[in-house]
Amino acid sequence: MFKFTSSEIRDLIIAFVVISLCFGIANTHRDVNALLNLLPFIMVGVGLGFILHELGHKFVSMKYGYWAEFKLWPQGLLFALVTSFFGFVFAAPGAVYTYANYMTDEINGKISIAGPIVNIVLALAFIAVAILVYSSAFTSQISLIIFIVCSMGFSINSFLALFNLLPIGNLDGSKVLRWNAGIWVITIAIAGIMTLLNMTIGVENVVRLIMGL
């Protein structure tokens, strides 16, 4: 059964708020007014991306019969805040800890890849909605707001997927690679292409390219 402890809920909320702030700082270059205006949009992308990423790990862990719980990593949260002032977010505020006496590389890999897959699916969903509202965004304030939210959602979730799939340290990528190199290559390539497109031509041009404009 999908259960949460009170400390887990507290840690998720703290991590969500601070990571949202970090992405806000990184994307507005420490401009306070721009940060205040953009933060609500960023929180939608981070909220869905970060929370559902962690819940993906938790759900798959518990599906295999393990107890899993998100725990805050204060040092990682502080490091994320520091790096955000340099335009980059080291997004490792905590992790879902799976409690098991023994776990195969396959199960560990499947648990680990669940989070990045959630981010990839969310990024694709955000870009799909952005395509749907793009034409009306020029004449409708509501459509424009939706487009901005989707642009931030695509950007943040693409990055979160790529970052977590890096095969370094205790990130998801190391465990996925150890389990199945082919699946790791495919998923990190998708995340990498989306992130590259966002960083080079921007979300609006990605939308225009897909729409053939």
- 8, 54, 69, 204: the catalytic one is 54
Tokens of 209: 């390219």
Paired strand residues for 67: 99
Cβ contact 207:131 at 8 Å: yes
Bridge partners (DSSP) of residue 94 are: 72
88 within 8 A of 28, measured Cβ to Cβ: no
Secondary structure element (H or E) that encloses residue 187, with its range = helix 181-200
* The pair of three-digit structure tokens given for residue 50, joined into one six-digit string: 């970060």
200 within 8 A of 126, measured Cβ to Cβ: no
Q: Which residue type, as a one-letter code, is found at position 53?
A: H
- Residue type (1 letter), 184: W
**Residue 69 annotated to the active site:** no
What residues are annotated to the active site?
Answer: 54
